[in-house]
Chain A
């Protein structure tokens, strides 16, 4: 067999050459077998393939062995980094500053960053540390290579290596080389990563680095609705994730005075929004995405809940929009009391979206006289539950908790009207102001050892993170006038957390244990407290954010006090409160826990505050499919001599559960339970316990493999009563799944049915018993928040 070299010459495939290339990167990976990778690669090759194809195939081949031995993921990552580095070198780029110069020539890098790097070239070039590449897992670096590294506009070749990329991101946000190098080191240690828009765009010519935009409902008039389409398209083009309310727009059947006709309601307008969002290609990377929020008194609420159904008239379906319910407490109380619920047209009660708490309740009751329709509150709630079960959409978010427990609602007229695409951002907005937030997440796993949390390191990370999140606000490009009007006034940021499950595994804490809840709360308190301290320091230097006087903090009320929460570090709280009284805060909001799907995979940790979904699962992304194994479990099994092909097969057959792996002691099986096996009450309890230390909110997914209306209605009532401001996806699993193609057929399956007397075949499960045959549900997540 021959391969074609870059110069066109053919040469015989040499297995030893591949072995040597693999060995070069195997290094400390003692379980890796280079010969196996080489022979498997050659098996998949065809005569006359190019050497580039050979390289790519060897990377893929190594990656595909991850299921047997997780070290192959690291090997594949290194082979890929080497492949990318060669591509960069082949374009004549041998140093960081050269990649910036080249990128600038190509029109990719912005002038400011190009100048900055040119001025500090030697220092910055020396700071690049390729040994940090060794931290990457394959999925992470594949994602980076395919989507984050800047590419030549014509040839589509990458023009930066992973380390150049992180340094470029740092330089785009720094004013001195020292600062840039410090921030680069933090990111390349994978202890903290900003969200994707920052990772995509920092240092480039289009510095849109914010993740989230919260657009107020259009006013109840045509011009305003079309203005919103325009705004959404602009925001979407620059990779923002959009939340938009629609509660102010009149419902079906309402009178239109101008023409003496009646309205078709909100559905046709949302259909247009749906098409608009799908049409916009986010920076060439993907389609846009938006979440529409509606309050439950809106007359079109029932049609709204059907927008994602896959049956019915397609003209009334929106396949691209996400849906969320923005629920006043009054609704939940009537659900609980089994009361009536009135649907009221916004044209009859235009102030309802701007009211919350008692004022809302009074106005709502007064408006009930003009109700378009009256329903049983429980029937409507049941519809919401059904939508959640069938589509995962129709998120339950709570208007009153969101407003009551916000720093931004200190002055009359400042109202939070909705959350964002991932339900972790809660900020005031209005017709003139579109709320903006930029995000980043701490990898808690990188701050924990078996001995416990490294609190000093955590504090240092938070301080650096807050400075750079704050920096984004000034450097950012704002795609809409309304966004530009809001962000410099409020300067909110969203510092989040990922790898909570890693920390629990490292410390061997079951997700639903008291110790886990206490740790998660203590970590959140530490993060919030340190973030406040950092924001005061910024305020002392640069002044408080302009709208500071309108916040609750200005009145001496900090977020945990709004909750009446117990404090773990009361002295530090008093100290920071005193400092705030003196200097104010640079940022009206600091903490939000975003879903982090993409950056968690770059960092190689579990997503945000989530439990693991399975000990063995695959990710499907634009880059392909990737097997993910719980390496903590693998280590445990190896220590016990149980990491064998039969055990692997049993885990696979059990859909990644180890519940029935009797060789493992009960406490180990308990530790490695999956999200499907944990009581969801515990997830809510953990979220509620940390909530006083999150001044925005958290993207809290809930998991039920076989949801029923009864379970769901109990669960969401409990979430509301726990005081949570928002919840996110309901994840469920399909009723049946694809027949496993590579797991051995069980002997029992091949046995003949037991007897004529039991034609139901109640005996051994046949080829696909639905009980175990489940595929994990995976939710739609907003990349912007990642």
Chain B
């Protein structure tokens, strides 16, 4: 492994994706897929102002005490979740993914995380009129045990590579990969997926459409973030296959198992007062099912063999045809190209 003492401008010379340095070369482009991701992400641009929360307030008034508890915990989780991801992106990912096109994507992702933070802030300001309660929502990472435990999990993995300035050794790279996998598979891929399930559960009951439509867009972005992270992982796997050994596999499994437990105890808290149609047992099964999928994406045998118990999540996998008169749509593309002509096929 080469070690260099100053940022490398690797013009015309090949290096691996995780080799330390500051590659500035976009032509020839080494990872065009990252660049495609960047361009696709731009087409998904949305703004918080487009999300209409007006009907949510009426819905909130209709919720049972148990459902209100669920929503308030959820909002408290959302209050800080994306900020944590953004911090890891800046502190760790951007530093070590040594590809200018990869960094383009990460820059875009950072913008999206900022929009998500703004969206959830707007949500909180709308849902929680009381200032003390708002403050409490941001303090949830410290005060609400079920959220604190998830936060602790995240911080531990941020800290695990925080001191790493350069990925010089095999151990450094392994540590970095674990951090990346943690954020892709466990935090965005499991914690957020768990949270989205509650939102979509409520929507399947016709509740909180504003939250759900914003979540649709957040979910779409998060799907891209995960896809990009898995691109990076697969690229590293192709470049440095020996990093993906049995030890790595065992560590990833242990990490996901812990993430599932973190999320299950969060579910038990959210659902403790009884919500008809969503039991903690079903939620556990769902989370295990999602964890298995993350493992499959990493080429690792599933741990649980659980099936998705939530029919309303299957609804997320099919094309949406919403009545736009009722709500806004998340499907239009931004950034259309071409010039006027009259003989194109259509």
Chain A residues in the interface with B (C-beta under 8 A): 43-49, 53-54, 56-57, 60, 64-65, 67, 146, 278, 286-287, 289, 310-311, 314, 317, 319, 335-336, 378, 381-382, 385-386, 389-392, 597-598, 613-614, 616-628, 652, 655-656, 679-681, 704, 706-715, 717-718, 732-743, 745, 749-756, 759-762, 766-768, 770, 774-783
> Which residues of B, 191-227, contact A by the 8 Å Cβ criterion?
193, 200, 203-206, 209, 212, 216, 219-220, 223-224, 226-227
Q: Which residues of A contact B314 (CB under 8 A)?
A: 67, 627, 652, 741-742
- Please report the C-alpha to C-alpha distance between residue A680 and residue B331 in the assembled complex, in whole angstroms: 19
Contact with A along B321-346 (1 / 0, CB 8 A): 11111111111111111111111111
Closest to B59 in A: A622
Q: How many Å from the CB of B100 to the closest CB on chain A?
A: 14
Q: How many Å from the CB of A281 to the closest CB on chain B?
A: 10
- Please report the C-alpha to C-alpha distance between residue A681 and residue B226 in the assembled complex, in whole angstroms: 38
- Please report the C-alpha to C-alpha distance between residue A614 and residue B319 in the assembled complex, in whole angstroms: 8
Q: List 14 A-B contacts (CB under 8 A).
A: A310-B49, A613-B321, A619-B323, A620-B212, A625-B312, A708-B336, A713-B342, A714-B345, A732-B332, A735-B334, A738-B220, A742-B314, A750-B296, A759-B33
Choice from A43, A60, A310, A319 contacting B279 with Cβ under 8 Å: A43
Which A-B residue pairs are the 3 nearest by beta carbons? A780-B324, A64-B311, A46-B274
Q: Is the CB of A618 within 8 A of B320?
A: yes
Closest to A336 in B: B342
Choice from B296, B313, B325, B333 contacting A749 with Cβ under 8 Å: B296
Choice from A56, A378, A625, A708 contacting B315 with Cβ under 8 Å: A625
Choice from B212, B238, B320, B334 contacting A775 with Cβ under 8 Å: B320
Q: Is the CB of A761 within 8 A of B234?
A: yes
Q: Is the CB of A736 within 8 A of B40?
A: yes
Q: Is the CB of A655 within 8 A of B318?
A: yes
Q: Is the CB of A709 within 8 A of B338?
A: yes
- Please report the C-alpha to C-alpha distance between residue A768 and residue B224 in the assembled complex, in whole angstroms: 8
Q: How many Å from the CB of B223 to the closest CB on chain A?
A: 4
Q: Is the CB of A750 within 8 A of B318?
A: no
Q: Which residues of B contact A314 (CB under 8 A)?
A: 49
Q: Is the CB of A622 within 8 A of B326?
A: yes
Q: Is the CB of B206 within 8 A of A616?
A: no
Closest to B66 in A: A46
Q: How many Å from the CB of B154 to the closest CB on chain A?
A: 21
Q: Is the CB of B340 within 8 A of A756?
A: no
Q: Is the CB of A752 within 8 A of B322?
A: no
- Please report the C-alpha to C-alpha distance between residue A287 and residue B46 in the assembled complex, in whole angstroms: 22
Given A709-B336, A745-B296 in contact, is the A777-B331 Cβ separation under 8 Å? yes
Given A620-B322, A761-B235, A783-B325 in contact, is the A56-B332 Cβ separation under 8 Å? no
Closest to A392 in B: B332
Choice from B206, B226, B239, B276 contacting A49 with Cβ under 8 Å: B276
Given A146-B206, A625-B203, A708-B338 in contact, is the A767-B227 Cβ separation under 8 Å? yes
Residue B172 CB within 8 A of the other chain: no
Residue B277 CB within 8 A of the other chain: yes
Given A613-B321, A756-B238 in contact, is the A43-B281 Cβ separation under 8 Å? yes
Given A766-B234, A778-B329, A782-B325 in contact, is the A711-B31 Cβ separation under 8 Å? no
Q: How many Å from the CB of A312 to the closest CB on chain B?
A: 10
Residue B293 CB within 8 A of the other chain: yes
Closest to A755 in B: B238
Q: How many Å from the CB of A46 to the closest CB on chain B?
A: 3
Q: Which residues of B contact A64 (CB under 8 A)?
A: 311-312
Of A43, A278, A736, A755, most B-chain CB atoms within 10 Å: A736
Residue B298 CB within 8 A of the other chain: yes
Residue B32 CB within 8 A of the other chain: yes
Q: Is the CB of A613 within 8 A of B223?
A: no
Q: Is the CB of B332 within 8 A of A390?
A: yes
Q: Is the CB of B338 within 8 A of A711?
A: yes
Closest to B48 in A: A310
Chain B residues in the interface with A (C-beta under 8 A): 17, 30-33, 36, 40-41, 43-47, 49-50, 52, 54-55, 193, 200, 203-206, 209, 212, 216, 219-220, 223-224, 226-227, 230-231, 234-235, 237-239, 241, 244, 271, 274-279, 281-282, 290, 293, 296-299, 308-309, 311-346
Q: Is the CB of A310 within 8 A of B331?
A: no
Given A314-B49, A752-B238 in contact, is the A776-B32 Cβ separation under 8 Å? no
Q: Which residues of A contact B32 (CB under 8 A)?
A: 760
Q: Is the CB of A753 within 8 A of B338?
A: no
Q: Which residues of A contact B241 (CB under 8 A)?
A: 752
- Please report the C-alpha to C-alpha distance between residue A289 and residue B327 in the assembled complex, in whole angstroms: 11
Of B30, B318, B320, most A-chain CB atoms within 10 Å: B318
Q: Which residues of A contact B239 (CB under 8 A)?
A: 756, 759
Closest to B329 in A: A778
- Please report the C-alpha to C-alpha distance between residue A645 and residue B279 in the assembled complex, in whole angstroms: 25
Q: How many Å from the CB of A392 to the closest CB on chain B?
A: 6
Q: Is the CB of A627 within 8 A of B49?
A: no
- Please report the C-alpha to C-alpha distance between residue A595 and residue B191 in the assembled complex, in whole angstroms: 40
Given A311-B47, A616-B318 in contact, is the A781-B223 Cβ separation under 8 Å? no
Of B32, B45, B231, B315, most A-chain CB atoms within 10 Å: B315
Given A44-B278, A709-B339, A761-B231 in contact, is the A622-B206 Cβ separation under 8 Å? yes
Q: Is the CB of B277 within 8 A of A711?
A: no
Q: How many Å from the CB of A108 to the closest CB on chain B?
A: 21
Q: Which residues of B contact A755 (CB under 8 A)?
A: 238
Q: Which residues of A contact B206 (CB under 8 A)?
A: 146, 621-624
Closest to B209 in A: A622
Choice from A287, A622, A709 contacting B337 with Cβ under 8 Å: A709
Q: Is the CB of B238 within 8 A of A753?
A: yes
Q: How many Å from the CB of B255 to the closest CB on chain A?
A: 18
Given A43-B281, A759-B30 in contact, is the A598-B334 Cβ separation under 8 Å? no
Closest to A683 in B: B346
Question: 11 more A-B contacts (CB under 8 A) besides A624-B204, A734-B220, A752-B241?
Answer: A286-B326, A289-B325, A617-B319, A619-B321, A621-B323, A622-B206, A708-B344, A711-B338, A718-B346, A745-B296, A752-B234
Q: Is the CB of A656 within 8 A of B318?
A: yes
Q: Which residues of A contact B204 (CB under 8 A)?
A: 60, 624-625
- Please report the C-alpha to C-alpha distance between residue A617 and residue B317 in the assembled complex, in whole angstroms: 9
Q: Which residues of A contact B321 (CB under 8 A)?
A: 613-614, 617-620, 628, 776, 778
- Please report the C-alpha to C-alpha distance between residue A618 and residue B320 in the assembled complex, in whole angstroms: 5
Given A49-B274, A741-B290, A759-B239 in contact, is the A390-B311 Cβ separation under 8 Å? no
Q: Which residues of B contact A65 (CB under 8 A)?
A: 311
Q: How many Å from the CB of A685 to the closest CB on chain B?
A: 12
Q: Which residues of B contact A734 (CB under 8 A)?
A: 43-44, 220, 330-333
- Please report the C-alpha to C-alpha distance between residue A212 and residue B333 in the assembled complex, in whole angstroms: 30
Q: Is the CB of A622 within 8 A of B346?
A: no
Q: Is the CB of A714 within 8 A of B315?
A: no
Closest to A649 in B: B317
Closest to A143 in B: B323
Q: Which residues of B contact A146 (CB under 8 A)?
A: 206
Choice from A386, A709, A778, A783 contacting B320 with Cβ under 8 Å: A778
Q: Is the CB of B346 within 8 A of A711?
A: yes
